[in-house]
């Protein structure tokens, strides 16, 4: 019974490997080889997470990264397949600018930014990566930008007035 629930829970998530790198650790007897995997997990409905996994084999590193990503899931605000307003996320020397796009645009993003936006469920969005294109930092900057997006109902309550959504048209 419990295994069925866990299997159903795992099936609702999709995962993408952003990067796999071979890493070495210098030890007394020489160099010890290993692998680092950067994995993104999302449900295509507004939840997305990022995880890092390190292991001696690639498959183990990917599995560990996916488990870490599932533990670090975040809720993302999506309005009609895009973001309600522009957002800038920063992490280290990486910056990611997210902009709303009209219907039919698709996901215009590159590197580590694209899989995060796709697995979050974004359909029409433009992203610009500024500064360092280090995959981990760019991914974390993207999550930072997504976390900075405000929800309309929360903002209306905070400000005490009715707000209008800027219509994105072609």
148-160 pLDDT, tens per residue? 988 777 777 778 7
SS3 of 53, please?
A: strand
CA 19/CA 146 separation, integer angstroms? 21
Domains detected in the chain? 2-74 (3.30.160.20), 77-159 (3.30.230.10)
Average pLDDT over residues 118-136: 94
39-86 pLDDT, tens per residue? 999 999 999 999 999 999 999 999 999 999 999 999 998 888 888 889
83 phi-psi bin (left φ>0, alpha ψ -120 to 50, beta other): beta
**CA proximity to 101, closest of 167, 2, 51, 9:** 167
Q: Given this model, what pLDDT does residue 127 score?
A: 95
Model pTM score: 0.84
Q: Given this model, what pLDDT does residue 48 score?
A: 95
**CA proximity to 142, closest of 92, 71, 67, 68:** 92
SS3 of 104, please?
A: coil
CA 128/CA 96 separation, integer angstroms? 6
């Amino acid at each position: 019974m419990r295994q069925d629930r866990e299997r159903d829970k795992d099936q609702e998530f999709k995962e993408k490997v952003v990067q796999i790198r071979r890493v070495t650790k210098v030890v007394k007897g020489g160099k010890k080889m290993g692998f680092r995997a950067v994995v993104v997990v999302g449900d295509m409905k507004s939840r997305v997470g990022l995880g890092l996994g390190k292991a001696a084999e690639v498959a183990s590193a990917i599995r560990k990264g996916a488990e870490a990503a599932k533990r670090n899931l975040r809720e993302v605000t999506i309005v009609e397949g895009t973001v309600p307003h522009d957002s800038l996320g920063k992490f280290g020397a990486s910056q990611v600018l997210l902009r709303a796009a009209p219907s039919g645009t698709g996901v215009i993003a590159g590197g580590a930014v694209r899989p995060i936006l796709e697995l979050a469920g974004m359909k029409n969005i433009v992203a610009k990566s500024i500064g360092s294109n280090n995959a981990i930092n760019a991914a974390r900057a993207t999550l930072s930008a997504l976390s900075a997006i405000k929800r309309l109902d929360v903002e209306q309550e905070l400000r005490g007035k009715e707000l209008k959504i800027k219509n994105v048209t072609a």
